[in-house]
């Protein structure tokens, strides 16, 4: 792998949290500042949240549901919104929120005056390294978080013996911790009972010197080398969290550091090394500069394909570091958060942000990292049944625009543009079927089929008929946006917003197709009747319509937006991540989607990191390579911190994953049942190669290109499905057909096919 695109590095310590470097094992996270004298590592654990489950469903909702629908129908928007505020807001405004573990400080001797400083994050090994020279001695700290050993490891070395001396302490973010003291001669124990109780154990050993605890501190003196391990466990996962944290910290410390590091690297690379992209270096030498300087050059208008490559690699690094099997899914900040009350609570915002976090997981060969999201859907499922029954008297399961660690499904916040949106569970469940399309895992689909059914079942009861005979949602919103009526009034609550119908078309299609794929033995007795019912409803859903500006309409009426440059572009769900609008198959709608994007951007859209990332994916789906390149440059220039974290602002991790997905979509698309190679690459990506990208149908792709044309290609069939590739091609040893611009050939599971475009 190319070091230029796998090493974030800097000549100075981080000045603040937004410059620090992230490490993690899916559950435990840390932000490394890289300070020689007074190092700060800000610690997180994914299940440290503010408290237990709250019952928040509003008991007044159902009694007022038909009144609100009638008011919306009659155009009495203000009255409808006032009633919604009273009857549909949660009985407690907020769900629980994410919180930090604490700050780990290291005060190291002999480092006041230093030179030849460098801090780095190696994406190939997931090791953060700080090095400097002081008094003629070279000092190094290497930090990683081991998934197999469940600990953060800090490894201190020096070029001369007996030169390592430091004091370490962990501080809570609040003053109400229970213990912060020595557990034994080499281990500290830090516990907190406010919110979800947890314990952190910090243990230390030294080579050639001494290591001991002193009150609430660890002291190392005159050592040749030293190792600190940090473990954390919470009451969310285990009753005896103190004992388990202590055991993990001390057990890891008994291993040789070379063993700890090797186990970590082997585990990490088993995921990271599956997929690689390589783009031609057009930086004119800038790719050898520190990362912050490279980003500065982009702001000045320079090109740097290797930095784009790094952005892709960094998105995969964050996925592996923040979402592993058995952990919680990535929240608004992944697992990295410094604040007791972070922006938007650091929760799961599911009107796009959580979904965006996982857009790239399947394509980028990290399917296992997707599983925490599926686990969380199951946590939401029972709560969603209660919300559906108590608020709407509907069957099935439902969630609004946010959820938390407990899978809370009641409306969150008291904010009309976002709160009363009943589509969160529906959108999340489409990820279940996407996972199946990429993996062909029928046992997974059979296990999750009832969940898909329940998400659809809610809308059988919830949908109403409009005056055109269509079935629509009511009440709802187009996420976070505001419309202007013909008489100049502003409104948010509405019936039948375009995104709702598009999500339901996707959900109903997923259920219908899943039923067709599964044996009768795993389906309910009424499945045929159920499928017939949702097929009928799907046929009656509103289809995307073109409005007065040539745009895809956002609402059932062709309203103007109060903010034409709004960050959400919800009416283009049908373009991305769904596949209802495509360049090849619905050209008129594709042109309207293009007009929608141009209108948004002309009015200042794309001003948040995640919105810009979404726009990259949409331009890719429209095969606009030049605009893909321009918007990637804008993402790097205006919405990326020097540590490569995405900025909303403030920091939100969704843009990192959305941006990584957009780069992938420019290289490969498979959403319409056909594999399209290089559909939207910018001209400056003139040559390059791809290894290990996954297409729907279970195909692993390796290919290279020159002058924007594919020169060689291999397709590994992981499921034995028929392969359809856009373009005319020959396939070694296999009979192919070519029709309507698509090459089609049967495959055998486990076999690799060489494809040559003609």
Residue 52 contacts residue 466 (beta carbons within 8 Å)? no
pLDDT at 1: 66
Q: Is pLDDT at 3 greater than 90 in this prediction?
A: no
Q: What is the distance, to the nearest Å, from the Cα of residue 591 to the centroid of all Cα atoms in its chain?
A: 29
Q: Which of 10-19, 172-181, 335-344, 604-613 is predicted with the least confidence, judged by mean pLDDT?
A: 172-181
Q: Is pLDDT at 177 greater than 90 in this prediction?
A: no
CATH number of the 3-49+102-272 domain: 2.70.98.50
pLDDT at 172: 86
Choice between 552 and 110, residue whose per-residue pLDDT is larger? 552
Question: Does pTM top 0.75 for this prediction?
Answer: yes
Looking at the domain covering 368-543, what would its CATH class be?
mainly alpha
Instruction: Round to whole Å and give the CA distance between 516 and 531.
Output: 10
Q: Is 521 left (phi over 0), alpha (psi -120 to 50) or beta?
A: alpha
pLDDT at 578: 98
pLDDT at 160: 97
Structural domain boundaries in the chain = 3-49+102-272, 368-543, 688-757
Q: How far apart are the first and last CA of the chain?
A: 30
Q: Is pLDDT at 111 greater than 90 in this prediction?
A: no
**Closest listed residue to residue 470, CA positions, set 519, 543, 550:** 543
* Residue 350 binned pLDDT confidence (cut-offs 50, 70, 90): very high
Q: Is pLDDT at 210 greater than 90 in this prediction?
A: yes
Q: Is pLDDT at 552 greater than 80 in this prediction?
A: yes
Structure tokens at 639: 């919405």
**Closest listed residue to residue 321, CA positions, set 350, 352, 357:** 357
Which CATH number does the domain 688-757 belong to among 2.60.40.10, 3.30.830.10, 1.10.20.10, 2.60.40.1180?
2.60.40.1180
Q: Which of 27-31, 211-215, 443-447, 635-639 is predicted with the least confidence, judged by mean pLDDT?
A: 211-215
- E-state strands within 275-330: 276-279
* Residue 112 binned pLDDT confidence (cut-offs 50, 70, 90): confident
SS3 assignment, position 224 = coil
Mean pLDDT of the chain: 97
pLDDT at 629: 98
pLDDT at 122: 98
Q: Which percentage of the chain shows pLDDT scores above 70?
A: 100
Range 466-485 average pLDDT: 97
pLDDT at 734: 85
Range 542-558 average pLDDT: 97
pLDDT digit string (tens) for 121-131? 999 999 999 99
* Residue 174 binned pLDDT confidence (cut-offs 50, 70, 90): confident
Q: Which percentage of the chain shows pLDDT scores above 90?
A: 96
Residue 282 contacts residue 304 (beta carbons within 8 Å)? yes
pLDDT digit string (tens) for 583-616? 999 999 999 999 999 999 999 999 999 999 999 9
Q: Is pLDDT at 110 greater than 80 in this prediction?
A: no
């Amino acid at each position: 792998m190319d070091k230029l695109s796998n090493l974030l590095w800097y000549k100075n310590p981080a000045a603040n949290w937004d410059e620090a470097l992230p490490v993690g094992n899916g559950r435990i996270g840390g932000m490394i500042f890289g300070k020689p004298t007074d190092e700060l590592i800000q610690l997180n654990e994914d299940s440290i949240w503010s408290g237990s489950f709250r019952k928040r469903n509003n008991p007044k909702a159902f009694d007022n549901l038909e009144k609100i629908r009638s008011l919306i129908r009659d155009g009495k928007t203000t009255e409808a919104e006032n009633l919604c505020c009273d009857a549909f807001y949660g009985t407690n405004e907020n769900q629980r929120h994410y919180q930090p573990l604490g700050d780990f400080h290291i005060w190291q001797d002999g480092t006041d005056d230093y030179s030849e400083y460098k801090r780095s994050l190696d994406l190939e090994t997931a090791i953060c390294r700080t090095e400097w020279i002081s008094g003629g001695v070279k000092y190094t700290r290497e930090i990683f978080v081991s998934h197999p050993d469940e600990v953060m490891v800090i490894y201190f070395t020096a070029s001369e013996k007996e030169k390592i001396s430091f004091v370490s302490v962990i501080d809570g973010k609040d003053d109400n911790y229970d213990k912060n003291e020595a557990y034994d001669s080499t281990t500290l124990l830090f516990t907190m009972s406010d919110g979800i109780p947890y314990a952190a154990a910090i243990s230390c050993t030294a080579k050639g010197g001494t290591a001991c605890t002193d009150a609430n501190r660890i002291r190392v003196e005159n050592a040749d080398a030293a190792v600190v391990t940090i473990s954390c466990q919470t009451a969310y996962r285990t009753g005896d969290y103190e004992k388990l944290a202590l055991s993990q910290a001390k057990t890891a410390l008994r291993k040789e550091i070379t063993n700890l590091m090797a186990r970590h690297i082997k585990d990490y690379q088993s995921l990271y090394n599956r997929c690689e992209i390589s783009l031609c270096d057009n930086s004119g030498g800038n790719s050898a500069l520190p990362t912050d300087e490279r980003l500065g050059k982009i702001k000045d208008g320079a090109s740097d394909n290797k930095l784009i490559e790094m952005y892709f690699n960094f998105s995969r690094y964050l996925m592996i570091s923040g979402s592993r099997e058995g952990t919680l899914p990535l929240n608004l900040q992944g697992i990295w958060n410094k604040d007791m009350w972070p922006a938007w609570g650091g929760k799961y915002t599911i009107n796009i942000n959580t979904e965006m976090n996982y857009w790239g997981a399947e394509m980028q060969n990290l399917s296992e990292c997707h599983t925490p999201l599926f686990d969380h859907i199951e946590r939401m499922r029972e709560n969603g049944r209660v919300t559906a029954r108590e608020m709407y008297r509907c069957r099935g399961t439902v969630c609004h625009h946010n959820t938390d660690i407990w899978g809370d499904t009641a409306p969150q916040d008291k904010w009309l543009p976002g709160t009363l949106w009943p589509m969160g569970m529906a959108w999340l469940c489409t990820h279940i079927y996407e996972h199946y399309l990429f993996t062909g895992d029928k046992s997974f689909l059979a296990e999750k089929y009832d969940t898909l059914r329940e998400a659809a079942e809610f809308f059988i009861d919830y949908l109403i008929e409009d005056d055109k005979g269509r079935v629509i949602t009511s009440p709802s919103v187009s996420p976070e946006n505001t419309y202007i009526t013909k008489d100049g009034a502003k409104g948010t609550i509405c019936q039948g917003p375009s995104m709702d119908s598009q999500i339901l078309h996707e959900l109903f299609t997923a259920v219908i197709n899943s039923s067709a794929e599964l044996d009768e033995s795993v389906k309910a007795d009424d499945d045929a009747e159920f499928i017939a019912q949702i097929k009928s409803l799907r046929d009656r859903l509103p289809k995307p319509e073109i409005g007065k500006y040539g745009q895809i309409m956002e609402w059932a009426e062709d309203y103007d937006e109060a903010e034409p440059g709004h960050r959400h572009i919800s009416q283009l769900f049908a373009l991305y991540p769904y596949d209802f609008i495509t360049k090849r198959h619905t050209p008129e709608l594709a042109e309207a989607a293009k007009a929608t994007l141009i209108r948004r951007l002309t009015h200042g859209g794309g001003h948040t990191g995640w919105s810009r990332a979404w726009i990259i994916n949409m331009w890719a789906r429209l095969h606009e390579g030049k605009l893909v390149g321009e918007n990637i440059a804008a993402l790097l220039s205006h919405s990326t911190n020097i540590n490569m974290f995405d900025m909303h602002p403030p920091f939100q991790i969704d843009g990192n994953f959305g941006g990584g997905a957009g780069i992938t979509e420019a290289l490969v698309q498979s959403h319409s049942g056909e594999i399209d190679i290089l559909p939207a690459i910018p001209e400056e990506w003139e040559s390059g190669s791809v290894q290990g990208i996954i297409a729907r149908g279970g195909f692993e792709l390796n290919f290279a290109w020159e002058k924007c044309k594919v020169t060689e290609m291999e397709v590994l069939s992981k499921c034995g499905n028929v392969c359809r590739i856009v373009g005319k091609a020959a396939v070694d040893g296999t009979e192919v057909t070519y029709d309507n611009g698509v090459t089609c050939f049967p495959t055998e599971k486990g076999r690799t096919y060489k494809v040559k475009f003609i």
